[in-house]
Structure 1
Amino acid sequence: MTASQRRFAFWGLVPILIWVFVFVLFPIFWVILLSLFSYTPIREGGWFLGLGGNNPFVGLGNYVELFTGSTKAARIFRQAIGNTFLFSLLAVPLSVGTALPVAIALESVHERVKSSFRLIYFLPVITGSVAVTIIWQYVYAPNWGLLSQLMKTIGLTPPRSWLSDPTQVYFGIPLAMLAVTIVYVWVTFGYNTLLFIAALQGVPAVFREAARIDGANSWQEFWHIVIPLLRRTILLASVLTVISTLQQFVLFQLLTRGGPAYQTQTILLSVYQNAFVYSENMGMAAAMSIFLFIILFVLTIIQFRLLRTEWEY
């Protein structure tokens, strides 16, 4: 490599390195550092980015407070951890589990209408989250909402409120959480459907034909041929959906704002509220975000180990 080529490579990389440092590395460093201080922007701190002084260094104090403290923010956060995992536990199987049968059904329709069906199922994905929540606010509106009217039409009594009644609990799950989960599955399963459609098109037809020759019925073909060959796609869809559920913010913020009675409060909502709404302790909000990152990292590793395959086709 000549000197001019090295200079060209160097100056070509400089903007990228600056962008990575300013928008990736520095925010990570800042969040980690902030989690070690009792920091709020309304107090005047030290000379270095406002840290120190009236924003004292507390070490791991924020983390200890989150899991053992008795403050309102800590108690709500511990409840938010359970709510977040409950939401993920409900949404991931529903989103992935509904996407695969739909993908198989779409692959069996005529070629002329296949593209139209794919577009219909993918529309919620490309629709803005705010627009989606506004639509579902009308669906979930008490008394006059679409869902309530539908229940009245078939002779059922709708709940007093789908999103704001803390007494509505079914099988230990708040109705508000179930309502948000349904919205999330409606929004996301179209993306997983396209993933499975792409994977199904890559499955060699010879395997399925061999199963039919051996006398396998449709269910045996699906369970013993299709599912094993789609393990990597199921892994990808599961990982992406888990990450999405743990980072879900817009649906909860616009539909329930964490209510009723914090039944739909999530980790990300707690981070947002402590950092930007109450501004009581951004250091604690930073500790919450670090905890969320650790959860995402660990769960992703576990899923890759459980669902990885050692073969190609």
Structure 2
Amino acid sequence: MTLLKPAKAPLPEAAAATVSGKAKAETDAQLGRRTMWGPAFALPHGLGLAIFTLLPIVVSLVISFFRWPLLGTPSFLALGNYEKLFSDPIFGQVVGNTVLFVVLYVPLNLVVSLGLAAWLTPRIKGRHIFRVIFFIPSITPVVANVVVWRMLYQPGGFIDGTLQSATGISAPNFLGDEHWAMMAIVVMSVWQGFGYNMLVFSAALDAVPENLTEAAAIDGANAWTIFWRIKLKLISPSIFFGTMMTLITSFQVFAQPFILTKGGPGSATSTIVLYIYNQGFQFHQLGLASAAAWILFVIILGVTAVQFLGQRKWVHYDA
């Protein structure tokens, strides 16, 4: 004989409310414990950011208002360091050299990167191998690349020797002639840095919908029209990103002139960051170096702001 178990009587409303309240309290407690882990995991990185980034930024701003020798007692100058920099013809030439480098380097970098990215279409066999080859200089240590290019540029080096054997004409003294030194640095820098933008632009071109290009081809558009009218507009956000990053890094150029020319001949290739290095670590004028660093920050901030305001006219975020 099978005995039927009596059905459980429903809980009274008060008891049900108590059980629901306990469950909600346990859920809130578990959520609170999980929420506490987030700040705990972020704390080491936050401390590193505060100690090694934010604090030095604030300290450099304070130091820029002092005559602060490496050894000795600091003295307050207010805006004296900034006034000295703006009246220093050498610093003016340094700023001009940096602007010249930016004007030459950024367009060349973007044109070479975009041209190679457009060439590396899906129809090119071995395109992934070419991408790796073009990207290798970007991840190779800058110092190693600069040393190699210094051997190429020097009299009797590969360029000079090849030119003499082919034409009998000696190559210019690229690093010793003030008319060639900056262009030599620009060419080396383009070779060093175009791979990153090439990879970004190539990925953006691969993401362009094929139905748009196929429809344009059916309507009679040639390859140049499709690239200029369709692809270039669709990848404009990537071009904007590449332009911004290239501008910011080009204003901070240091290793190339430091190793290739030491800022010479004379001051023909001295840049702002190289000037900051010399003032801080060669002449031990930390206040002057900090002031120059903040002037560089303001320049980069201004250029970035102008780019962000102007991108509304040529960057298209909607397909």
TM-score range relative to shorter protein: 0.7 to 0.9
Q: Quickly say closer, same or farther: Cα 1:234–1:7, change in 2 above 3 A.
A: closer
Structure 1 residues 219-228 or 269-278, which shifts more?
A: 219-228
Deviation at 1:116, TM superposition (A): 1.1
Which residue in 2 is equivalent to 1:99? Answer: 113
How big is each residue's C-alpha offset from its partner over 1:61-120, in whole Å with a ceiling of 9 and x where there is no partner? 11111102xxxxx32211110000000000000010111111111114445x11111111
Which residue in 1 is equivalent to 2:265? Answer: 260
Check if 1:25 corresponds to 2:54: yes
Q: Any conservation in 2 of the 1:196–1:233 contact (CA below 8 Å)?
A: yes
Unaligned runs of 5+ in 1: 46-54, 69-73, 167-173
Unaligned runs of 5+ in 2: 1-27
**Aligned equivalents of 2:127 and 2:35: distance in 1?**
51
Q: Quickly say closer, same or farther: Cα 1:6–1:211, change in 2 above 3 A.
A: closer
Report the 3-state secondary structure (helix = DSSP H, G, I; strand = E; otherwise coil) of the residue aligned with 2:66. coil
Match of 2:302 among 282, 286, 298: 298
How big is each residue's C-alpha offset from its partner over 1:144-202, in whole Å with a ceiling of 9 and x where there is no partner? 11111222233263345110123xxxxxxx21000000000001111111011110011
Match of 2:199 among 187, 194, 198: 194
Which residue in 1 is equivalent to 2:67? Answer: 38
Match of 1:57 among 76, 84, 93: 76
The amino acid that maps onto 1:28 is I
Which residue in 2 is equivalent to 1:242? Answer: 247
Match of 1:288 among 271, 292, 295: 292
Q: Quickly say closer, same or farther: Cα 1:5–1:106, change in 2 above 3 A.
A: closer
Q: Any conservation in 1 of the 2:175–2:260 contact (CA below 8 Å)?
A: yes
1:139-150 paired onto structure 2 within 5 Å: 139-142=152-155, 144-150=156-162
**Aligned equivalents of 2:317 and 2:138: distance in 1?**
32
Q: Quickly say closer, same or farther: Cα 1:118–1:7, change in 2 above 3 A.
A: closer
1:165-184 paired onto structure 2 within 5 Å: 165-166=177-178, 174-184=179-189
Percent of aligned positions with the same letter in both sequences?
A: 34
Structure 1 residues 99-108 or 26-35, which shifts more?
A: 99-108
Deviation at 1:138, TM superposition (A): 1.3
Q: Any conservation in 1 of the 2:234–2:317 contact (CA below 8 Å)?
A: no
Q: Any conservation in 2 of the 1:122–1:191 contact (CA below 8 Å)?
A: yes
Q: Quickly say closer, same or farther: Cα 1:119–1:11, change in 2 above 3 A.
A: closer
The amino acid that maps onto 1:75 is P
Deviation at 1:222, TM superposition (A): 1.4
How big is each residue's C-alpha offset from its partner over 1:186-228, in whole Å with a ceiling of 9 and x where there is no partner? 0111111101111001111111112111111111111111111
Check if 1:88 corresponds to 2:107: no
The amino acid that maps onto 1:150 is T
The amino acid that maps onto 1:79 is Q
Check if 1:157 corresponds to 2:169: yes
Q: Any conservation in 1 of the 2:61–2:290 contact (CA below 8 Å)?
A: yes
**Aligned equivalents of 2:127 and 2:60: distance in 1?**
47
Q: Quickly say closer, same or farther: Cα 1:9–1:265, change in 2 above 3 A.
A: same
CA RMSD of superposed structures (Å): 1.7
Check if 1:75 corresponds to 2:89: yes
Which residue in 2 is equivalent to 1:126? Answer: 139
Q: Any conservation in 1 of the 2:237–2:316 contact (CA below 8 Å)?
A: no
The amino acid that maps onto 1:157 is I
Which residue in 2 is equivalent to 1:219? Answer: 224
The amino acid that maps onto 1:181 is V
Which residue in 2 is equivalent to 1:49? Answer: none
Which residue in 2 is equivalent to 1:137? Answer: 150
Q: Any conservation in 2 of the 1:107–1:114 contact (CA below 8 Å)?
A: yes
**Aligned equivalents of 1:9 and 1:125: distance in 2?**
35
Deviation at 1:39, TM superposition (A): 0.5
TM-score normalized with structure 1 length = 0.87
Q: Any conservation in 1 of the 2:137–2:195 contact (CA below 8 Å)?
A: yes
Which residue in 1 is equivalent to 2:210? Answer: 205
